[in-house]
Structure 1
Amino acid sequence: MSGGGVSVTVRVEDEGFREALTRLIQRSMTLQPVFEEIGSALQASTEDRFEAETGPDGQAWAAHSPVTLLRRGASAKKLRDRNHLYQSLSYAAGRLQVAVGTNRTYARIHQLGGQAGRGRKVTIPARPYLGVSADDRRMIGEILTDHLAEGMRP
């Protein structure tokens, strides 16, 4: 180095440490099992939100409209009329990512809210069910930490 800088070089000569480091690097390159575990946990978390009728932020979903209450009754669960949306929840894990969602075409309006029906005269409130909660973030961190820690074990 020129200009009077300082440089430090570290050489790892401990064979056990080098082997552990190699395992750690290899584990970080094969993340699909981690994404499978994360996807399964996020799907379960999403299903729990359906049961609790809350969004990822913990906010309760909007109440049924008076018309829906008359048609379905006061004990009717939100987003569970025929249970198709709930049953369609799934995840897909790959080497570099995981996605949780549904293939139902009407899912978007329930997640984001909007106008529906003939002439778009019906307002459907947003009832977010997809997303990552604070607990989900912690769980993801724990899964990643556990996966990498396993790579350090002989």
Structure 2
Amino acid sequence: MFSIRKATPADEEALWGILEPVIRAGETYDFPRDTDRASALHAWLAPVNECFVAHEGERVLGTYVLHANRNGGGAHVANCGYMTAADAQGRGVARALCAHSLDAARAAGFRAMQFNFVVASNHRAVALWHSMGFDTVGRVPEAFHHPVLGYTDALVMYRRL
């Protein structure tokens, strides 16, 4: 069984091991596919992000970042990004990370969570977010250039906490 904790600097290599294949595939995140390690970790571990990892012993299975979706009047709505190691998919890691992030967001005083850019062709994620209580509240036509499917829609998903 795995646990979830805050990430530490010692997790950087494991985080890159998760981030790099997702970034290189270019199918679900808007990172440029040639993003280097330093830039990816700088973005994922930015000071505005609270970063968590799912781990089994010393092995990191997945990660998420939590932060305010916007500043000022929009700062009461959280935003998260999630990634799971390819060989840990199908084990409930993403579901556990999402559940943890909802609790962490509530504890931090957020009133809602919004995902601004869920690639519509990422059917597993869309189904998971729906099962976690998120509604699709918007669709941006052809907002994402998928390396195989071409231009595909991006969804805006939202749920109250």
Structure 2 length normalisation: TM-score?
Answer: 0.24
1 or 2, which has the higher strand percentage?
2
Q: Which has the larger radius of gyration?
A: 1
Structure 1 length normalisation: TM-score?
Answer: 0.25
